[in-house]
Amino acid sequence: MPETLWAPWRMEYILQDQKPEGCVFCLPEGHAGPLPERLVLCADSLVFLVMNRYPYNNAHVLAAPRRHVATLAEATSEERTALMDLTARATAVIGELLSPDGFNIGINQGRVAGAGIDSHLHIHVTPRWNGDTNYMTVLGETRVVPEHVRRTYERLLERFR
């Protein structure tokens, strides 16, 4: 009997009349704080933190500079420091709320390195739990995310306010 996998957030993407123009990471100029319609948890003048719409695991977030730059070398020293501080804050908040056993933290710079969006630098922060990689991922090439992205956003947003 076939297994059923539930991914309701995909329907919003599938049914979109048109894909967004421009960079999906670039925020409205001058915006600070959360932006629920874009799943932005927090933003300041240099950096912001956003939920990954198609997460590798529950609470997978992305830290990015406000400025549209593609590489670490293009980012200023101040932006790089702010990115690291925000990444550390993300691990602290997610760690406190969800108690993961560890984190994968990484940058895929350039399409050949695995960047799905290679024109705007971003750092992946993916919480990991013992046993979260199971036969579904290994044999079925399918990931199971246990909570809806919007619900995880709401839970994390409370901690980032």
Q: Which entry of 68, 122, 124, 148 is annotated as an active-site residue? A: 122
Residues 6+ apart with CB under 8 A from 107: 72, 121, 122, 123, 124
Give the C-alpha distances (Å, rounded to integers) separating 48 from 38, 89, 95, 119: 11, 11, 19, 16
> How many Cβ atoms sit within 10 Å of the Cβ of residue 20?
8
Q: Is 31 a catalytic residue?
A: no
Q: Following DSSP, what letter does each residue of 71-132 receive, concatenated? A: STTTS-HHHHHHHHHHHHHHHHHHHHHH--SEEEEE---SGGGT-SS-SS--EEEEEE-TT-
Give the catalytic positions in this structure: 122
